[in-house]
Amino acid sequence: MPTSKGFFDGKTLTILGKNLNGYAQADFSGSIEQLIDELRTEYNRPLPAADLLMSDPYDELMRGVRDIKDLGSGSIQGMECDHLAFRAEQVYWQIWITQGQRPYPCRFMISSKVIEREPQYSITFSNWKTGDQVADSGFTFKNPTNARKVDLAELRDSNELPDNFVIEVSE
């Protein structure tokens, strides 16, 4: 399965195609929301968990939700989490959120109801940090594998979305 990893330091976006051992960079200045929109519309690289990165993730995630279930608690990477499930018209999604004074998402899973065989995308978060715990260096690309620099178009195979994924642009 192709995998990719992204870095954004506020000025440069870097996408590392791990299986291809290649990375591409593009200059970009703007907000995370603008970056997410440009990736989706200009580079055909939608980010399935992008809703969690928006300035108001609650509004983004709850848009069109018709049903919510509390599925209890469980452990994700040793952290006790509340497990919630949501249904909207085109997707089902689930989120696991740590319990305690500083809750954060541990896992996010989204399933399509409109694509044949209802594909799922899951992301697990680790080493969650906030405020002063976050070092600026964590957003800067370091080439750990001596990957070669390539054009963004060459990283098409690093896309984790199925070939039949359709991008809808709402205006």
Q: What is the pLDDT of residues 103-161, one digit of tens each?
A: 999 999 999 888 888 788 888 888 787 778 887 777 888 887 888 898 876 655 545 54
| Nearest alpha-carbon partner for 113 in 135, 136, 86 | 86
CATH topology of domain 4-158: outer membrane lipoprotein receptor (LolB), chain A (2.50.20)
Q: What is the DSSP letter of 142?
A: -
pLDDT given for residue 81 in this prediction: 96
Query: Model-level pTM?
Result: 0.73
Tokens standing for residue 160:
């984790």
CB 106 within 8 A of CB 123: no
Secondary structure (3-state) at 32: helix
- Taking the alpha carbons at both ends of the chain, their separation in whole angstroms is 33
Cα distance between residue 112 and residue 133, in whole Å: 35
Residue ranges covered by each domain of the chain: 4-158
